[in-house]
Amino acid sequence: MSWKINFESIKKDTNFFAELSNEIVNLNEIISIFEAETDGGKKHTWFRLFDDHIEFLDQRFLPAKEDWIKCKDEKEVAYAIREMVVRGAPAIGISAAFGVVYGVKKKLKNKVKITPDIFSDITAELERTRPTAFNLKKALLDMEQEYQNFILNSSLDNQDELLQRLTNRAIKIWFHDFAYCYLIGKFGAELIKDGSVVFTICNTGSLATGGWGTAFSAIRFASKIGKKIEVIALETRPFLQGSRLTAWELMQNKIPFHIIVDSSSAFSISQMKAKGKDICCVAGADRILRDGTTANKIGTFTLAILSKYFDVPFYVLAPSTTIDNVSEKIPIEERNPREVREFFSVRVLPDDVPVFNFAFDITPPNLISAIVTEKGIFRYPYDFSHI
């Protein structure tokens, strides 16, 4: 099994190349950056690929410590996704794709032939981990398509070829997201004014994606092209992805920022408005419906309402793989109450206090000033029925 990316195959991927051919950056430029930043497609900020396992950077403990967790099959990858070792919609999708690869590889090592039922068991294990993120479902559908193409055109006895084809598909899913993040950043940076204050929630950088990020990529690009900006990052309870992860990435990129508690957003925006600052709010997405209805980390809806009240633009940035143009509504994950009752294993509530722990909320499209994907900048009213 080879991890090397066949870029010539990607260049012949007419659908993907057509999406990039008329854009503001060419595919060769993206490939060059990808190879330089990933050691030729072997590792990213939060994962490392090995012959018999994948290692994930445990994001639950950043920045206090950098622990890597080894996963050898789909069950262990599913655990990493479910327990928030891995988080961020694009990252979850990429992880699931590689979960399929390692699940198949382990079964082949144990002399198990990958029949349709066995393959379905592998994907089902991964699909039930996080119901809200659409990238998870999309990545698994892509892997299923690769499997179906194989059994239509090859013998099931050629299991080594199956493994290589699934590996190539997983790497392509990763590379596509890297390219999408790059383009999202370029488009998104156009919306951020020089000298502005940028509010953001959760973590949308390289730790959450296969590339530079979504909303964070726009921040990074704006800084890269010389715009003087300051970021205000919400701490993002209860996992503190803002104060732990976004702060970590902002420091690495030397971008000025402050962390605020989630409940101070309204006052903080009002203070910046009083100082005459240009302000915008940027967020990622875990699922976007065809009309622009968006699910993202809990607290995003609040930030969107505040943006409307203060006449501040509110932008959602996400790859097209996040768009679900079939579903009518979005399932919202409710997580373990323990995540609210405890703070890094320290009990902060009285025993048996009832807790609602919604992981996401839903922002209606009329509160979103623009949605940015790798395909460009879209304005309200939205229609993603053909994406």
Q: Is the pLDDT of residue 11 over 80?
A: no
Joined together, the tokens standing for residue 370 give 């623009």
Catalytic: which of 58, 73, 286, 361?
Answer: 286
* Tokens 């909320």 found at: 361
Percentage of the residues of the chain whose pLDDT score is greater than 70: 96
Q: Are residues 228 and 341 in the same domain?
A: yes
% of residues, the chain, pLDDT over 90: 86
Strand partners, 69: 56
Question: Does the pLDDT of residue 19 top 80, yes or no?
Answer: no
Q: What is the pTM of this model?
A: 0.93
Answer yes or no: do 362 and 307 share one domain.
yes
Would you say residue 338 lies in a domain? Answer: yes
Pairing of strands 346-347, 342-343: antiparallel
| pLDDT digit string, tens, across residues 216-257 | 999 999 999 999 999 999 999 999 999 999 999 999 999 999
Q: Is residue 384 part of a domain?
A: no
**Local structure of residue 135 (DSSP, 8 states):** H
Q: Give the tokens for residue 133.
A: 């993120």
Q: How many structural domains are present in the chain? A: 2
| Residue 286 annotated in active site | yes
Look at residues 75, 134, 132, 83 and name the one whose alpha carbon lies nearest to residue 99. 75
The answer to whether residue 2 sits within a structural domain is no
Please give the distance of CA 316 from its chain centroid, rounded to a whole number.
13
Domain boundary among 151, 166, 184: 184
Band (pLDDT 50/70/90 cuts) for residue 358 is very high
Q: Do 236 and 166 share a structural domain?
A: no
Does 200 score more than 90 pLDDT? yes
For residue 117, is pLDDT > 70? Answer: yes
199 and 169: one domain?
no
Where is 32: in which H helix or E strand?
helix 27-37
DSSP of 297-316, one letter per residue? ETTHHHHHHHHHHTT--EEE
Could you tell me if residue 1 is inside a domain?
Answer: no
- Separation CA 220–CA 106 (nearest Å): 39
Q: What is the CATH number of the domain that holds 207?
A: 3.40.50.10470
260 lies in the same domain as 137: no
Residues 54 and 113 in one domain: yes
Question: Do residues 176 and 251 both lie within one domain?
Answer: no
Query: How far apart are the C-alpha atoms of 88 and 147, rounded to whole Å?
Result: 26
- Choose the final residue of a domain: 132, 163, 184: 184
* Domain residue limits at 138: 7-184
**Residues 115 and 56 both lie in one domain:** yes
Same domain, 219 and 98: no
Decide the pairing of beta strands 346-347 and 287-289: unpaired
- Asked which of 136, 154, 184 is the last residue of a domain, the reply is 184
Determine the length of the chain. Answer: 387
Residue 385 lies in a domain: no
Question: Which structure tokens are listed for 115?
Answer: 């029949």
Q: Based on the fold, state whether residues 22 and 115 are members of the same structural domain.
A: yes
* Separation of alpha carbons 216 and 241, rounded Å: 13
Domain membership flag for residue 40? yes
Q: Is the pLDDT of residue 2 over 60?
A: no
94 neighbors 177 (Cβ within 8 angstroms): yes
Backbone angles phi, psi at 365, to 5 degrees: -65, -30
Residue 290 resides in a domain: yes
Q: Check whether residue 132 and residue 160 sit in a common domain.
A: yes
Instruction: State mean pLDDT over 131-160.
Output: 91
User: Same domain, yes or no, for 11 and 59?
Assistant: yes
| Beta strands in 14-84, from DSSP E residues, in sequence order | 47-49, 54-57, 68-71
pLDDT confidence band for 15 (50 / 70 / 90): confident
Kindly report, residue by residue over 301-357, the tens digit of the pLDDT.
999 999 999 999 999 999 999 999 999 999 999 999 999 999 888 999 988 899 999
